Chain A
Amino acid sequence: MTAEDFALPRQTHDIFAIMARGHFISSNGTKDNMSRLYDIINQEENFPRLQAYFNVIKYNIERGNNYFYFSRINEGNSLIEKKLETFERYIDVIDLFASMDNKITIGSRFRPAEIAEECNANVRLKQKLQKIPMYRSETMLNKVRDICDLMARDSYLELEDENTESYKVLDSYNYLMDVINAISIYEESTGTDSNSSGIIYN
């Protein structure tokens, strides 16, 4: 079976190239024609074709709130664990972002300097920032920069303007929020079962 048999859109390769790296395609992304790619996947006739095509190679397109990403069919436990580990540090980042005076939400545009400045002026935020494990970040600004850089690499943010170092929050940020919201923390039971404490990822 070839790609032609699926009557795939021209941009299939571009879509694969982005999502196979574990990145998201967000509807409000501008780099690499991202919003167009989103529209293409989102088109009624395209989605089932792409899904069928990628399923052949054991990829599944997951649809989020204005974003798409790949998941592996029959994902191995080790992969899931790895994902969870990656995610863990985002909990603190999102906590920090959500605690800002000017809350960072989808579509927000900000500069790392602004966040660093606010953290500097607010002890609570400062502590939250310090809690985030980022190596090699000596100053607060550099740490925020590293976080933004990391998030941009993971396609949650987009560096819109390199000159002003302006980032935009992409729709994929919803993914992080959704995962956070899916976490349920429950009271430790009377038993001493080590599995029964901590957080659960739904």
Chain B
Amino acid sequence: MNTENVRILNRIVEINISNVKYADIELCGNTCFVGTNNFGKTSLQRAILFFYSANSRGLGIAQSQKSFEEHYFRYENSYLVYEIATEEKNFFVMVYRHNKLVFRFVDAPYDADFFFNANDEAMKIKEIISGLEKRGIYISNQIDTFERYRNIIFGTETDKQLAKFHLLKGNEKYQNIPKSITNVFLSSKNSIDSRFIKDFIANSLTTENSSIRLEQVERQLRQFNEKYTDIETFIKKETQQLIELIDKKYDQVHLLKGSQMELADKLGSSLRFAESQNEAIREASKKKEEELEILTEDHEKLISEIDNKQGNVREEIGYYDKSIRDANKRLRDYKDKNIEEAVEKNAEREKLQVEQNIARREYESLTSNVASIELKYASLLEQLRNDKMAYINTINAKTSEIFNHYNELQLLQKNEFNKRESELKTKREEAFSEVNAEVTAKQIEFNELKSDEKVIRNTRFYEAEIKNIETELAELRAISYKNKSERAIKQNMVQTLQREWEAIEAKLKTSLSNEVNRTNGEIIKIKNEIKDIESKLNVQHDAFYGFLEKNVKDWHHTIGKVVNEKLLFRTDINPELKEETLKTLYGVSLNLESVDVVSKSIEEYQFEKNERLALIRDLEEALNAFQTSNNEEKMLAADKYGKQLGEFKEDVKVLSYSLDLADKREKKLMIELEDWQMKAGGEVEQSLSGNRQRLNIVEEELTLLNKRKNNLVDDFNRQLDQLKVYSEERLQDLKSRQETEISELEVEKKNQVKEFESKEEEISKEKETNFKSKGVDSKQLKQVEMRLKEVQEALKEIDQYAQLVSDYLKDKRDIFDKLPDFIQKKEEYVKSNNELTAQAEETTRKFNLKRMELNKQKRAFDEELIEFNNGVNFYSNNFRETPVYAKYSEIIERAEAKRTNYNIMDLCTQLLKNDSHFNEEYGAFQRYVNDFSGRFRLDNHFNFIIRNDATQAEYERFAQNLRSFINENKIELSIAETATQIGLVTDSIATKVKELSGQKDKIQHIITLIAEDFKKAEFEESKLIEFIKIKIEESDNKVYKLLKRIEEFREEHGLIYNEGLFNTDFATGTKREISGRAVKLLEQLRSAIKEQEQEEIRLQDLFELKFNIKEGMNETGWTHKIDSIGSTGTDILVKAIIYITLLHVFIKESSHRSSKDFKVHCIIDEVGQISAHYLRELLKFAKNRNIMMINGLPNKSGLESHYKYTYQFRKEDSGNVRIFPSIVTEVEA
């Protein structure tokens, strides 16, 4: 029963708790529990501790053990009841399990009847509540949380109904009390080490979360460091060079692959085409051969027909030619014989006949008178004349004989000549016709060759190929033109987007730097205010303020209303308390009720400081948020523009690539076209050269033939001429002999005739003389005679040519008059012959053309067939089994049958050749990729990783991703992220360090109080412990030191906005330097964390505690460890004293100044080894500090006599533990 009018945990009652059915233990004095191990001593002590801590997890129950709830509250009628004694009336609080542990406060002293029914069975909570309500006892609502319970017990509950159920009135730090009590209980088993004391103090001051988890820091640092290393590796010159190489090689590899695929496709198409066309081409070739045969047959038939016709015509021509020639010859002969004159004269024959008759009659009439004379003379004359005539006739006969003879000889000669001439001519004709036939044949050949040349010249060789290439070229150029313009547009877009992006980046950067400046300005301002407040708080102890706090009650309501704030914190005004002036102002009393208080309490200052700190935090958070959102915006922009830019750049690249390809293709096609054209030209030239050679030969042969012909002509002409000359000479000779003989005869005749004529003249003269004598006009007679003679002469002459004229006239009628007809006909036949020749030539030309065309077609088919077969054979023998086939088999096998410009063999060879080149290039590409990815960590954040057994596709994807990475400028994003990260990491470290080191002041304060308390301790009586001293020193924890340096760094440089993290465009010298230092510091911290292998930095790592204890003659000196002071008992004592001191200090610090009348328990288990003397000392030491001890003893040893209550534990057969009071009397304390 509490008799001291103080508040204290008076009693604890266990109902169905663990294996205790019921236990009612009084606690309002030092209490000890006696019992062997495992009887439930510690469980009971935990139950007591639970009253203070109300934290089922902080009771030192091992993880492997059942939880507090499980172990203690096994039944629904398990109750823990704590009765609290107060100044007036006791109340109790009961704990029970309603799913979780809950509390109810009951405004009445504990009474077992409240819980048990008539059968002594514990009731259920509902029954208990209704029982209490029936009794009219106040029972609180169910308190669900430990926090609320503690608020009530430690007097900070605002609910008036519950406010009275407090053990003590705690301040805002009241949590330290349950923590301290818990810590004493939990650390009581450990040896005494300053570390535990440190832990104790620190644990009492901090919450579970107020440590710096190094694992987390290390993780953040590692993440930052890894990213930093990745970026550093990326921006290295060597890496950049590798990127360029990869990009270039990828393009090459891609190009090669593309061309290989194209070739493979062409090969496939060619193969399919060859397979599908083989039979068709064979058929086509055969058909062409047949066509050729038919053509030749037709042609030969036609030519022979024309030849026949020409033979007939030639015969006709020969006939007419001969007729014309004969006629002409005869004409010439007639002409030579003066035929025209002869004919003319012949025409006068009849006229002359008439004239002769007239003259004859005239003569007869004249001579009629002298007929006899006349007759005599006439007969004489006649005789003479007859003689003369006979002579003339004889001579003439002789002449004519000679004439005829020679004429005959001449004729013979002429015939001979003609015969020889005609023989020669025939020979000549024969030779001529022979040569001419040859010439004609050659001429025909020549003409054929000429027309062939014309055909060749007009033939476009490889027309299809050239046309295909030309078409492809035209298409290619059109596409290239389109692509060029598209590329120009896209490049423009890229520039525009780049500019836009840069503008946005610049805007974001400016806004961020403005925000950073603004926030830093504000933070500096607030920091100055904080400094001001801190300076006030620091001096308040020694200032007027401290004096008032200590010495003047409620000064805030008096002096606080009138005093100047500055005055309050002056330390040089030496305030003194004078009773007489109390409640007056220099003796003047003022009614200050309506005056507002201007002074502020320490808490208010603290609050203001905290408020400003929070403001800074808010500002920093806002800045962080701004930075994050700025970054996000940046990222959004990067995402938006980067992606677009990337796409456009990729497009530009693709277009450039395709333009390059097109360019290359165009060049290739141009070369191919030139090749084809040259080939075509070559083909023409080749054909022409063959043709020309033949032409030249034929021409030469023709010349030779013409020469031969001319020689022949010359020869024959010469022979003819010789013949002619000989014949003419012979004729001339004959003629001259004829003429000589004739002239001789003529001379003879003339002479004889003259003789006859002179005789005749004589006779005539005689006659005339006779006539004259008879009167006949001899003159007239003579005239008539003369005329008659003339006529006779003329007739004679005419008669001479009569035969010739008659022949001529006959020939004229039969031949000469028909000559124009002959010529006409001959010309007609010649013309028709020419026509036939032309026809034959034309037919041959046409035939040759057609034959050539057919031959060409057939040759093309044959060549194609050979090429196909060779290609297919080459493919089967030299390509099908190679790995290149395996690589492109799908494309080859899937290709459509199509004619290509390439032959299979070339395609196979090219593919094989290219493949080895491709392999070389690909090897280099792989090497570069491996080298590049090998420069980065295995798990680099860019994901630049390639397996050694990666496929080609994976390598290519790698290069593509790398390209997009570059195009989208992702490195800038990464840099920005990493820069933000370093800011966040330093910021988070700084905040944590600040938070933690903010509590260092509290520690300093506590240590000061403890030191003071130690001083106050009275160890005089026993003299066993002379003194216990404690002091605080700076921590030598390397990690903490680095953390602190980072915090200072952060303080010095404000929020590190690390755009200068890398040597990029953003970087400025100062920023780089600061960033460099930050990075270095973080790296040092990381290695220190690794080295130190510490999980967290707690409050206790911030300082070092040192003790100096003197026990008897032993002084430990300033040391961390205090376990070697003396015996175990001494150690336990010292430890307990220190704990009690700590507890006392904490209780004092954490309870309201007004709340003084309360006592708490200090639970220290196992004090069995302490001597009775020491125990007494200890209990006294505790009592002086309003602390009741609860200790455990293994057995009764007399020590229990020093406690007010002693309880014994006994295990019953049922396994239940019974706790019962031992009957002892308190000796002291």
A and B together in one complex: yes
Q: Which residues of A contact B (CB under 8 A)?
A: 27-28, 30, 35, 66, 102-110, 114, 160-161, 166, 168-169
Known: A102-B948, A107-B935, A160-B938. A66 touches B238 (CB 8 A): yes
B935 touches A27 (CB 8 A): yes
Q: Is B932 at the interface (CB under 8 A from chain A)?
A: yes
Residues of A within 8 A of B656 (CB): none
A35 CA to B927 CA, complexed, in Å:
19
B930 touches A110 (CB 8 A): no
Cβ-neighbour of B934 out of A102, A103, A161, A168 (below 8 A): A168
Known: A35-B233, A103-B926, A105-B927. A110 touches B948 (CB 8 A): yes
B938 touches A166 (CB 8 A): yes
Given A27-B238, A107-B929, 11 extra CB contacts under 8 A: A28-B931, A28-B934, A35-B233, A105-B926, A107-B932, A107-B933, A109-B946, A110-B948, A114-B948, A161-B938, A168-B938
Residues of A within 8 A of B949 (CB): 102, 110, 114
Q: Is B923 at the interface (CB under 8 A from chain A)?
A: yes
B927 touches A106 (CB 8 A): yes
Residues of A within 8 A of B135 (CB): none
Residues of B within 8 A of A169 (CB): 930, 934
B-side interface residues, number (CB < 8 Å): 21
A163 CA to B233 CA, complexed, in Å:
25
A35 CA to B940 CA, complexed, in Å:
15
Q: Is B1173 at the interface (CB under 8 A from chain A)?
A: no
Cβ-neighbour of A108 out of B229, B238, B938, B948 (below 8 A): B948
Q: Is B360 at the interface (CB under 8 A from chain A)?
A: no
A114 CA to B949 CA, complexed, in Å:
8
Residues of A within 8 A of B932 (CB): 107
A164 CA to B1022 CA, complexed, in Å:
68
A105 CA to B928 CA, complexed, in Å:
9
Q: Which residues of B contact A (CB under 8 A)?
A: 229, 233, 238, 923, 926-927, 929-935, 937-938, 945-950
Cβ-neighbour of A103 out of B238, B923, B933, B947 (below 8 A): B923
B930 touches A107 (CB 8 A): yes
Q: Is the interface of A mostly helix, strand, loop or mixed?
A: loop
Which A-chain residue is minimally distant from B934 (CB atoms)? Answer: A107
Residues of A within 8 A of B926 (CB): 103, 105
How far is the CB of A101 from the nearest CB of chain B, in Å?
8
A104 touches B937 (CB 8 A): no
B937 touches A106 (CB 8 A): no
* A–B pairs, 21, beta carbons within 8 Å: A30-B937, A102-B948, A103-B927, A105-B926, A105-B931, A106-B934, A107-B930, A107-B931, A107-B934, A107-B935, A108-B948, A109-B938, A109-B945, A109-B947, A109-B948, A110-B948, A114-B948, A161-B938, A166-B938, A168-B938, A169-B934
Residues of B within 8 A of A28 (CB): 931, 934-935
Residues of B within 8 A of A109 (CB): 933-934, 938, 945-948
Residues of A within 8 A of B937 (CB): 30
A114 CA to B948 CA, complexed, in Å:
9
A169 CA to B935 CA, complexed, in Å:
10
Q: In the complex, which of the residues A66, A105, A110, A114 has the most CB atoms of chain B within 10 Å of its own CB atom?
A: A105
Residues of B within 8 A of A105 (CB): 926-927, 930-931
How far is the CB of A75 from the nearest CB of chain B, in Å?
30
Residues of A within 8 A of B945 (CB): 109
A166 CA to B926 CA, complexed, in Å:
19
Residues of B within 8 A of A108 (CB): 930, 934, 948
Which A-chain residue is minimally distant from B937 (CB atoms)? Answer: A30
A178 CA to B937 CA, complexed, in Å:
26
Which A-chain residue is minimally distant from B933 (CB atoms)? Answer: A107
A197 CA to B930 CA, complexed, in Å:
38
A30 CA to B933 CA, complexed, in Å:
13
Q: In the complex, which of the residues B233, B238, B934 has the most CB atoms of chain A within 10 Å of its own CB atom?
A: B934
How far is the CB of B14 from the nearest CB of chain A, in Å?
53
How far is the CB of A108 from the nearest CB of chain B, in Å?
5
Residues of A within 8 A of B233 (CB): 35
How far is the CB of A99 from the nearest CB of chain B, in Å?
13
Which A-chain residue is minimally distant from B935 (CB atoms)? Answer: A28
A110 CA to B934 CA, complexed, in Å:
11
Residues of B within 8 A of A168 (CB): 934, 938
Which A-chain residue is minimally distant from B924 (CB atoms)? Answer: A105
A169 CA to B238 CA, complexed, in Å:
17
A106 touches B930 (CB 8 A): yes
How far is the CB of A171 from the nearest CB of chain B, in Å?
8
How far is the CB of B813 from the nearest CB of chain A, in Å?
115
Which A-chain residue is minimally distant from B233 (CB atoms)? Answer: A35
A35 CA to B234 CA, complexed, in Å:
13
Q: In the complex, which of the residues B933, B948, B950 has the most CB atoms of chain A within 10 Å of its own CB atom?
A: B948
A35 CA to B934 CA, complexed, in Å:
12
Which A-chain residue is minimally distant from B931 (CB atoms)? Answer: A107
Closest 7 CB pairs of A and B: A107-B934, A110-B948, A107-B930, A107-B931, A105-B927, A108-B930, A106-B931
A110 CA to B238 CA, complexed, in Å:
23
